[in-house]
Chain A
Amino acid sequence: MKYIDEYRDGRIAQAFARQIAGEVRAEASYRLMEFCGGHTHAISRFGITDLLPANVRMIHGPGCPVCVLPVGRIDMAIGLARRPEVTLCTYGDLMRVPGSRGASLLKAKAAGADIRMVYSTLDAVRIAEAEPSREVVFFAIGFETTTPPTALAIRLAAAKALKNFSVFCNHVLTPAAIQSILESPDVRALGRVRVDGFIGPSHVSTIIGTQPYEFFAEEFGKPVVVTGFEPLDVLQAILMLVRQVNEGRHEVENQYVRAVTRDGNAIAKGEVAEFFELRKSFEWRGLGVVPYSGLRLKQAYATFDAERRFDLADAGGEDNPACECGAILRGVKTPTECKLFGTLCTPDTPMGSCMVSSEGACAAHWTYGRFRDRARSAA
Chain B
Amino acid sequence: MTPKAYRRRLDIKNGRVDLSHGSGGRAMAQLITDIFHEALDNAWLRRGNDQAAFDVAQGRMVMTTDAYVVSPLFFPGGDIGSLAVHGTINDIGMGGAHPLYLSASFIIEEGFPLADLKRIADSMGAAARAAGVPVVTGDTKVVERGKADGVFISTTGIGAVPGGLDLSADKAQPGDRVILSGTLGDHGVAVMSKRQNLAFDTDLVSDSAPLHGLVAAMVEAGGQDLRVMRDPTRGGLAATLNELADQSDIGFRLEENAIPVRPEVAAACELLGLDPLYVANEGKLVAVVAPKAADVVLAAMRAHPLGRDAAVIGEAIEDDHHFVQMTTGFGGGRMVDWLSGEQLPRIC
Contact = CB atoms under 8 A, between A and B. Distances in A.
B212 to A, nearest CB: 33
A367 B238 CA distance: 12
A42 B326 CA distance: 15
B333 interface: yes
Contacts of A346: 340
A363 B302 CA distance: 38
Nearest to A116: B197
B160 to A, nearest CB: 39
Interface string A318-351: 0000000000000000000000000000111000
B341 A96 contact: yes
Interface stretch (A25-33, A43-51, A257-265): A43-51
Contact of A4 (B198, B267, B331): B267
Q: Is the interface of A mostly helix, strand, loop or mixed?
A: helix
A348 B198 contact: no
B241 to A, nearest CB: 14
B341 A347 contact: yes
A50 B333 contact: yes
A11 to B, nearest CB: 9
Contacts of B334: 44-47, 368-369
Nearest to A349: B340
B267 A13 contact: no
Interface string B312-326: 000000000101010
Given A4-B270, A10-B331, A370-B335, 18 more contacts: A4-B266, A4-B267, A8-B329, A10-B328, A46-B328, A46-B332, A47-B327, A47-B334, A50-B331, A96-B341, A123-B197, A231-B330, A347-B341, A358-B273, A367-B337, A370-B323, A371-B335, A374-B321
B263 interface: yes
B337 A368 contact: yes
Contacts of A161: none
Contact of B197 (A4, A8, A49, A119): A119
B103 to A, nearest CB: 32
Contact of A48 (B267, B321, B332, B341): B332
B323 A118 contact: no
Interface string B240-275: 000000000000000001000001001100100100
Given A1-B267, A119-B198, A371-B325, A13 B331 contact: yes
Contacts of B263: 1
B270 A17 contact: no
Interface string A1-33: 100100010100110010000000000000000
Interface in A46-76: 46-51
B330 A47 contact: yes
A119 B274 CA distance: 13
A10 B321 contact: no
A369 B337 CA distance: 10
A8 B335 contact: no
A46 B333 CA distance: 7
Nearest to A348: B340
15 contacts: A1-B266, A4-B267, A46-B328, A47-B327, A47-B330, A47-B331, A51-B330, A231-B330, A347-B337, A348-B338, A367-B340, A368-B334, A369-B334, A371-B325, A371-B333
B330 A48 contact: yes
A303 to B, nearest CB: 26
B131 to A, nearest CB: 34
